[in-house]
Structure 1
Amino acid sequence: MTTRSRTRGPAGRVLGALVAVLAVVLAGCTSGNDQAVFGGSFSFVSPGGKSEFSYPVSERGTLGNLSGPDLADEGKTLSLADYEGKVVVVNFWGSWCGPCRAEAPDLNAAATQLQPDGVQFLGINVKDTRSDGADFATGKQVPYPSIFDPSLRTITSIRGYPVSGIPSTLVVDRKGGVAQVWLRPVTETELVAAVSAIASEPA
């Protein structure tokens, strides 16, 4: 009995090529690619479902250079590197998020109170439209800039960081290390106490 060898015809070769292209595209959409773009050594691990984390100086990984278009100015790019040498409070938020609306006055008050200490606040507006995000920032009189990031590129670049936890806030020390994380709305009192302590650390 003779066994016929099977060869792929043109349709099979086209299908194989499409699968290969799709694999490349999907690989480019992963958080691993974003980690390579933004860099940083910080990896988030959440033991026991806690919502607040403090890191001693010796255990602080760097956040990396998160960047993206300015929510208020489409032609401008904002970057964490713009504030090198400063303590930076990074807040992930969305106009669609009820807890974000509730915590906005506390963030605004803390940003104003900590400004004389050289502390910079930076918002990152996620899963939003530019118009809704801008209207929120204007309506709440937010005194600091925000990166417009509807696709969550910044947050998915942080290894292990939960993308569903909005709002959430990180505090970056003067050397770029993550010193504090809240995976929940944060109050003015909490922010001022924690950030003042971090800002008073030796350079």
Structure 2
Amino acid sequence: MRRRRRLPLLAALLAPLLVLAAACAPAREAGGSPVSPLTRVPAADRKAAPDLAGGSLDGRAVSLAGYRGKVVVLNVWASWCGPCRAEAPELSRAQKELAAKGVQVLGVDTDARRDSGRAFQEQHALSYPSLHDPGSRKLVRLPKGYRPQALPYTLFIDRQGRIAATYLSPLTQSDIRTITRPLLTE
């Protein structure tokens, strides 16, 4: 009799965990294939990117507007985020490879403490600057439909300063090359 009572209790305790696990899993289209984490925005429908500006983790003044004329890969991360740690070297390699073509990677560290972001930047030898934005307070100003739901989160900003694509998963150097290629020819 005791065993029968435990099963519904166990099921009730595990249900929220199963819902959470399903939410973290990639979405599926009818037919079972994963939905792409990339969403491209047609040029006519693009909205202006937020005017992000402030101090970088290494103390320099940085602004998104300062990169106008370049394609910007705006990557939102945190030091405690495992997928962010995995993609950091990919972003650095992409920055080194694509800088001469007009691409700039710009990070946004959402850690509560600046020293956590600085340690991450040093540990991963990031080749691009990162703004410090505890709790994503500046990103709240993103246009509706562009607010990050999870980390890492990346916006691709066209040369005119408009949001051209979003990517809701860790990026590889190849992903960045593929996504920025058409933006560089616009």
Q: What TM-score do you get using the length of structure 2 for normalisation?
A: 0.76
Q: 1:154 to 1:174 in 2, by over 3 A?
A: same
Q: How does 1:105-120 map to 2 (within 5 A)?
A: 105-120=89-104
> How many residues matched?
152
Task: Deviation per CA, 1:159-192: give whole Å up to 9, x if none.
Answer: 3334431101111011111111101111111110
Is the 1:65–1:80 contact (alpha carbons within 8 Å) kept by the matching residues of 2? yes
Aligned residue number for residue 191 of structure 1: 176
Displacement after TM superposition at 1:50 (Å): 5.9
**Structure 1: gaps spanning 5 or more residues:** 1-47
Aligned residue number for residue 86 of structure 2: 102
Q: How does 1:162-181 map to 2 (within 5 A)?
A: 162-181=147-166
AA at the equivalent of 2:149:
S
Distance in 2, matches of 1:96 and 1:64, equals: 25
**Structure 2: gaps spanning 5 or more residues:** 1-28, 30-34
Distance in 1, matches of 2:146 and 2:185, equals: 27
Displacement after TM superposition at 1:58 (Å): 1.2
AA at the equivalent of 1:145:
P
Bigger Rg over Cα:
1
Please tell me whether residue 69 in structure 1 is matched to residue 55 in structure 2: yes
Q: What TM-score do you get using the length of structure 1 for normalisation?
A: 0.70
Determine which of 66, 69, 78 is the counterpart of 2:62: 78
Secondary structure at 1:151's aligned position in 2? helix
Give me the CA root mean square deviation. 1.7
AA at the equivalent of 1:160:
G
Is the 1:130–1:148 contact (alpha carbons within 8 Å) kept by the matching residues of 2? yes
Aligned residue number for residue 157 of structure 1: 141
Please tell me whether residue 122 in structure 1 is matched to residue 110 in structure 2: no
AA at the equivalent of 1:103:
E
Instruction: Give 4+ residue runs of structure 1 displaced > 2 Å after superposition.
Output: 48-51, 159-164
